[in-house]
Amino acid sequence: MSADLDNTVSYLEVKKGLGSWLYTLDHKRIGMMYLCGILFSLMLGGAFALLVRTELFSPGMTIVGQDWYNKFFTLHGAVMVFLVIIPGIPAALGNMVLPIQLGAPDVAFPKLNLASFYLWCSGAFLLLLATGLGGVDTGWTFYTPYSIETQTAVIPAVAGAFLLGFSSIFTGLNFLVTIHKFRPAHMGWFQMPLNLWALYATALMQVLATPVLGITLLLLFVERFMHIGIFDPTLGGDPVLFQHFFWFYSHPAVYIMIVPGMGVISEMITTFARKPIFGYRFIAYSSVALALFSFLVWGHHMFVSGQSRLANMVFSALTFSVGIPSAIKVFNWAATLYKGDIRLDTPMLYVLSFLILFTIGGLTGIFLAVLSIDVHLHDTYFVVAHFHYVMMGSTLVAFVGALHYWWPKLSGRMYPETIGRVCAWGVFIGFNLTFLPQFVMGSRGMPRRYWDYDPEYTLYHRISTVGAFILGVSLFVVVCYLAWSLKRGKKATKNPWGASTLEWEAPTPPTVFNFPEPPPEVEIYNYDDLVEVPNANEDGVTNWERRPAADKPATSSHH
């Protein structure tokens, strides 16, 4: 199908009709379809979150009883984790951008890529089916024995998550092979953009960790269906074994979430500071270090589960060590801003939000790594706040920022800048209002997954609920104006931000095979060549052009 397509026309225009999208092998179209699904799931998961927070506005029953509340928080977690945040940046943005950054015409296995998308759709369908069949009330973590005996629709939910796992595995596999085999001759490992290092580390984790989730969910499925007994204590099984299996995947999973976020932050921060990223090699190495270390710390979710004290000691020590690469990255990013030329477009606002929110998220993780403090804080709202800071405040913020960053290139349109900045502030303020009070609630003893709570926490919950609505409305408006801009936004130029990586040399939007002519060789993170040309098109959008090589002045040191 692909060989006969016209490689001079934008990939969005080259063929029309629903079939051309559903049967496409073009990684950009697949990424765009993922994006639509993911943003829809974000709104769905967000709706569940707002239902949860509304119920928590007052102690006791506010809008629904316990059964529904338990289902709302479970579905919020399952939809957000499995449909939004884990696929998020790799499936939507990675698919669209990775081959272009390599100068390749597509990923290594385009049909597998489409299959991954359909697996995502099937998994999403099954989760929606579970919702329709009355929901699931086990928590997104599906702990046994409760998940074995509850009468809710666990089986479709678990089957959906299983398929989503394979979608993730195949995407990761695709990216690994593409990065190994489709780099141009001049692009060695240390000439790759940091986004690709991040996607590579993520893909490693996807391929190595997700199968363990697969077998865990398969065993849970068989346990519910046929009472195989492996996790059921009445049959001789061990419920804590489920936790080990589950967290062996789910801890690397949270790094699958954050590492691509770090990758796109690295790209954006260097572009908007107009200077090379500080400590390129350290950031690259730390991405891979995070990927490897992430496999060693799963037990820190289980400090009070009955695990031995020796195991707790080992996991606590390893957990501290896994925090160090993240700290290195934050320092490097901050140093990138030093003596830069900083422009506060919307993506940069998200980058700055990320820096602050990821710092809070990472620091609060330290509380939880200290064994005796974790005994007090485990399964309280402190943990809820911590993981929202890293999963939402960091990963989702990075995702939304990166979406704005690459939006011009991928859609050919600019989003509206003013409202973009307003929403970025809305997200930052709403997010902090929602989750800062939760730290205090947690350390004061408020347990999580509680429908009812003691009255002394009421004020904190109310602040949190108000913040959640501000956050939700801001994100909703973002999705709305992005959709609006597809038809009504200003036309984008080739390189509106003056970025230095290869994808900005492709046309806006790229052709079906990304480059109509062989892509040039560019030196990434070198901004000396780029000259700002304001009002470069009929909509007044800025463009940045590369000066010819002969006029290049002495370059600043690069790696």
Partner 1 sequence: MSDHDHDHGHGDDGHGHHGGHGHGSPWIQHHYDDAQHQFDSGKLGIWFFLVQEVLFFSGLFVAYILYRYHHPEIYAYAHSYLDVKWGAINTAVLIISSLTAAWAVRCAQLAQRRGLIFCLAVTIACACGFLGIKYVEYSHKIHERILFGKKFDPCIASAGNHLLNKENYCPGVKTSVVWDAKTNKADRGCLDAPTGYDWDPALKGIQGKCVVNELTMSGTGANRKEVSRRPVEACAPSPDHGSGHGGGHGKQTYPCWTLEQNPHVCPKGPGAMVHYGDHTSRGSTVEIEVTCEAVPAPVEPKDALAPVDGKLERGEASFKKPVTPSKHDLKHEFQSGPPPEHTNMFFSIYFAMTGLHGLHVLFGIFVYIWLLVRAIKGHFTPDYFGPVDYAALYWHLVDLIWIFLFPLLYLIH
Partner 2 sequence: MKPYLLAFALVFGLFAPPAMAQPAAAPPPAAAVAPAAPAAAPPAEMTWWEKEAAKPYVYEGTYWLPPAANKDAKGPDDLFIWVLGMSAFFFVAITACVVYFVIKYRHKPGRKPEPSPSHNDVLEITWTVIPTIIAVILFVYGWRSYISLTSIPETRPENQIAVTAQKWNWSFRYYNGVEDNVLHVPVDQPVKLTMTSTDVLHSFFVPVFRVKQDIVPRRFTYVWFWPTRTGVYRLYCTEYCGKDHSLMKTKVVVHSAGNYERYLSEAFGKQMSLSGAALGESVYKKKGCEGCHTLDGSVRLGPSFKGVWGTDVKLGDGSSVKFDEAYVRNSIQAPQGQSRPGFPPSMPVIPLSDKEIEGMAEFIKAQK
Q: Which of residues 213-252 bind partner 1 (CB under 8 A)?
A: 214-216, 218-219, 222, 226-230, 232, 234-238, 241, 245
CA angle 488, 493, 499 (to 5 degrees): 125
Cβ of residue 447: shortest distance to partner 1, in angstroms? 26
367 contact choice in partner 1, partner 2, none (CB below 5 to 8 Å, kind-dependent): partner 2
Contacted entry of partner 2, partner 1, none for residue 59, CB cut-off 5 to 8 Å set by kind: partner 2
Q: Kindly list the distances between the CA atom of residue 339 and the CA atoms of 96, 132, 193, 261, 451, in Å, as whole numbers in the listed order.
A: 32, 54, 21, 24, 50
- Among partner 1, partner 2, none, residue 397 binds (CB under 5-8 Å by kind): none
Cβ neighbours around 99 below 10 Å, total? 27
C-beta of 25 vs 81, nearer to partner 2: 81
Neighbours of 149 (CB within 10 A): 12
51 makes contact, choosing from partner 1, partner 2, none, with CB < 5 to 8 Å by partner type, with: none
Closer residue to partner 2 (CB): 48 or 460: 460
Nearest-approach distance from CB 123 to partner 1, in angstroms: 17
User: What's the CA dihedral at 398, 403, 408, 414 to 10 degrees?
Assistant: -100
450 binds, among partner 2, partner 1, none (CB under 5 to 8 A by kind): partner 2
Work out what residue 207 binds among partner 1, partner 2, none; the CB cut-off runs from 5 to 8 Å by kind: partner 1
Residues 169-198 that bind partner 1 (CB under 8 A): 169, 173-174, 176-177, 180-189
Q: How far apart are CA 406 and CA 423, in angstroms?
A: 17
What residues contact 25, with CB distance under 8 A and at least 6 apart?
1, 2, 106, 110, 111, 113, 114
# binding residues, partner 1 (CB under 8 A)? 53
Please list, in sequence order, all residues whose beta carbon lies within 8 angstroms of the beta carbon of residue 542, skipping any fewer than 6 positions away: 493, 496, 532, 533, 534, 535, 536
Q: How far is the CB of 337 from partner 2 (least distance, A)?
A: 4
Query: What are the structure tokens assigned to 502, written together?
Result: 């290869």
Q: Which is nearer to partner 1, 90 or 362 (CB)?
A: 90
d(CA 75, CA 134): 11
Virtual torsion, Cα 229, 231, 236, 240, nearest 10 deg: 170
Quick check: 548 binds partner 1 (CB under 8 A)? no
- Min separation Cβ 367 and partner 2, Å: 5
Distance between CA atoms of residues 248 and 294, nearest Å: 9
Please classify residue 477 by burial: count the beta carbons closer than 10 Å to its beta carbon, then call 0-12 exposed, 13-18 middle and 19+ buried: middle
Nearer residue to partner 2 within complex by CB, 175 or 527? 527
Minimal distance, residue 300 CB to partner 2, in Å:
12
Contact of 556 with 280, CB cutoff 8 Å? no
Using the minimum distance from each CB to partner 1, give the nearer residue, 164 or 402: 164
CB of 375 to partner 1, least distance (A): 25
Q: What is the DSSP letter of 546?
A: E
Beta bridge partners of residue 511, listed in sequence order: 10, 514
208 burial via Cβ count (<10 Å: 0-12, 13-18, 19+): middle
Task: Supply the minimum distance, in Å, between the C-beta of residue 540 and partner 2.
Answer: 16
SS3 category, 532 = strand
Q: Which tokens belong to 300?
A: 């820190």
Q: What are the two backbone dihedrals, phi and then psi, of residue 533, each rounded to the nearest 5 degrees?
A: -125, 100
Quick one: which of 105, 401, 442, 510 contacts partner 1 (CB under 8 A)?
Answer: 105
129 binds, among partner 1, partner 2, none (CB under 5 to 8 A by kind): none
Task: Reduce the DSSP state of residue 545 to 3 states and report it.
Answer: strand
Which residues from 512-531 bind partner 1, rule CB under 8 A? 513, 518-519
Q: Which does 183 bind (CB under 5 to 8 A by kind): partner 2, partner 1, none?
A: partner 1
Return the number of the residue (222 or 486) whose C-beta is nearest partner 1. 222
Q: DSSP letters of 422-444?
A: HHHHHHHHHHHHHHHHHHHHHHT
Find the binding residues for partner 1 in span 143-172 (CB under 8 A).
Answer: 169
Phi and psi at residue 59, to the nearest 5°:
-65, 160
**205 or 384: whose CB is closer to partner 1?**
205
Which backbone phi and psi does 414 adopt, to 5 degrees?
A: -95, 145
281 binds, among partner 2, partner 1, none (CB under 5 to 8 A by kind): partner 2
Determine the longest span between alpha carbons in the chain, in angstroms. Answer: 78
- Give the helix ranges, DSSP H, for 56-187: 66-78, 88, 95-102, 110-132, 146-149, 154-181
Is residue 108 a contact residue for partner 1 (CB under 8 A)? yes
Q: Quick one: what does residue 334 bind among partner 2, partner 1, none, with the CB cut-off 5 to 8 Å set by partner type?
A: partner 2
The sign of the dihedral angle between the CA atoms of 390, 396, 400, 406 is: positive
| Cβ distance to partner 2 smaller for residue 376 or 491 | 376
Q: Which does 340 bind (CB under 5 to 8 A by kind): partner 1, partner 2, none?
A: partner 2
Residue 188 site contact among partner 1, partner 2, none (CB < 5 to 8 Å, cut-off depends on kind) = partner 1
CB of 518 to partner 1, least distance (A): 5
Which of the residues 528 through 547 are near partner 1 (CB under 8 A)? none
Question: Does 506 participate in binding partner 1 (rule CB under 8 A)?
Answer: no
Which partner from the list partner 2, partner 1, none does 305 bind, CB cut-off 5 to 8 Å by kind?
Answer: partner 2
Q: Are 448 and 381 in contact (CB under 8 A)?
A: yes
Distance in Å, CB of 10 to partner 1, minimum? 18
Minimum separation from the CB atom of position 401 to partner 1 (A)? 30
Among 80, 114, 201, 207, binds partner 1 (CB under 8 A): 207
Q: How far is the CB of 126 from partner 2 (least distance, A)?
A: 22
Would you tell me which residues interact with partner 1 (CB under 8 A)?
A: 2-3, 103-106, 108-110, 112, 169, 173-174, 176-177, 180-189, 207-212, 214-216, 218-219, 222, 226-230, 232, 234-238, 241, 245, 513, 518-519
